Amino acid sequence: MIRPSGLYAVLRGEEIHVHSHGRDYVTLPAPSGPVRHELDELDDFVSIKTFATWRGGQVAISAVSGDECGFFTNDQALAERERLAGDTYNGWHGSAALSELTDVDERVTSIHPRRREA
């Protein structure tokens, strides 16, 4: 499974993509709407950055839905070759089938204050 880059809360052993966050809390999606949880309630709070190679260039995965993903890149040669939307100032973005990705590299870093203090 390829996870998009972003912030994830680990709550009661379940990893959940964070809806929003503040200095000492996160809000997590729930059926009735976002629910606030204090950081002390979490098992962990992690930052995930997912990179891959797509058609010869490096991309950062920003969204995953079914068998497709959204990505962004700063690789100008890839952007020009594949006619991606964007510019040199903000980078380029596009979408691809997950099956087209190679060399997927997921970097997970705990950013929970409790972990940083240890």
> What distance separates the 2 farthest-apart alpha carbons in the chain?
47
Q: Classify strands 14-17 and 25-28 as parallel, antiparallel or unpaired.
A: unpaired
Report the distance separating Cα 76 and Cα 61, nearest Å.
17
pTM: 0.86
Q: Can you give the length of the chain in residues? A: 118
Nearest CA-CA partner of 105 in 57, 75, 44, 61:
61
Residue ranges covered by each domain of the chain: 6-117
CB 101 within 8 A of CB 52: yes
What tens digit of pLDDT does each residue of 62-77 get?
A: 999 999 999 999 999 9
What tens digit of pLDDT does each residue of 94-117 get?
A: 999 999 999 999 999 999 987 766
